[in-house]
Amino acid sequence: MSGSEKKQHHVVLGVTGSIAAHRAVDIASSLTRLDIRVEVVMTADALRFVTPLPFKTLSRNPVVTDLYDEEEGWKPSHIRMADEADLLLVAPATANCLAKLAHGMADDALTCIALALNHDARMLVAPAMNGRMWLHPATTRNVEILKDRGVDFIGPEEGMLSCGYQGIGRLWPVDGIVERVVSLLRC
């Protein structure tokens, strides 16, 4: 690589089973337009809210939806993605996902990537859930555990929630998430 060429940043976008999953499509699109390589990994619950097709089309990369998804080459896709990522962004992140990440559970592609993430990569989590779930002591503790490990958080914000409640729990605005990703990649 010559001095005038810059390395293309690589973000793995983890999408979990929240009603806010559709907003992750806009995140993938925005990051790709900024010439950031985006690879998407979706949990089984995320597939109940949005399909892989918009992510594949907008990121211009295959989407991992299962731990055992195969690709060419010998290295498992979740290990390759963990090795190559500059940043793992989980948006939206559910309470279930936060619990898995905090306690080292690795039962799907996303949580395996998180555990295998290279030591130079950052992790940014954008929670989205019911306010009572966000404020529950178990979730609060899981967030503390992750922050103590150096995980960055953005949100959630207050507003009208999809469950009909008013309060904290909304996914942070897409533009704000994208700005934070760019800021973390510059560090």
Contacts of residue 187, Cβ cutoff 8 Å, sequence gap at least 6:
122
pLDDT at 86: 97
Rounded Cα–Cα distance for residues 15 and 90 (Å): 6
Rounded Cα–Cα distance for residues 42 and 62 (Å): 11
pLDDT at 24: 98
Sign of the alpha-carbon torsion through 100, 102, 106, 109: positive
Question: Which structure tokens are listed for 62?
Answer: 């295959």
pTM score over 0.85: yes
Question: Which structure tokens are listed for 105?
Answer: 């559970």
pLDDT at 69: 76
Rounded Cα–Cα distance for residues 69 and 65 (Å): 7
CATH architecture of 10-186: 3-Layer(aba) Sandwich (3.40)
pLDDT at 74: 72
Q: How is 31-88 classified by DSSP, letter by letter?
A: HHHTT-EEEEEE-TTGGGT--HHHHHHHHTS-EE-STT---SSSS-HHHHHHHH-SEE
Every domain of the chain and the residues it spans: 10-186
Active site residue 163: yes
pLDDT at 164: 76
Going residue by residue through the chain (187 aa), what tens digit of pLDDT does each one get?
Answer: 445 567 899 999 999 999 999 999 999 999 999 999 999 999 999 999 999 999 999 999 999 999 887 766 677 888 999 999 999 999 999 999 999 999 999 999 999 999 999 989 999 999 999 999 999 999 999 999 999 999 999 999 988 777 777 878 899 999 999 999 999 999 7
pLDDT at 112: 96
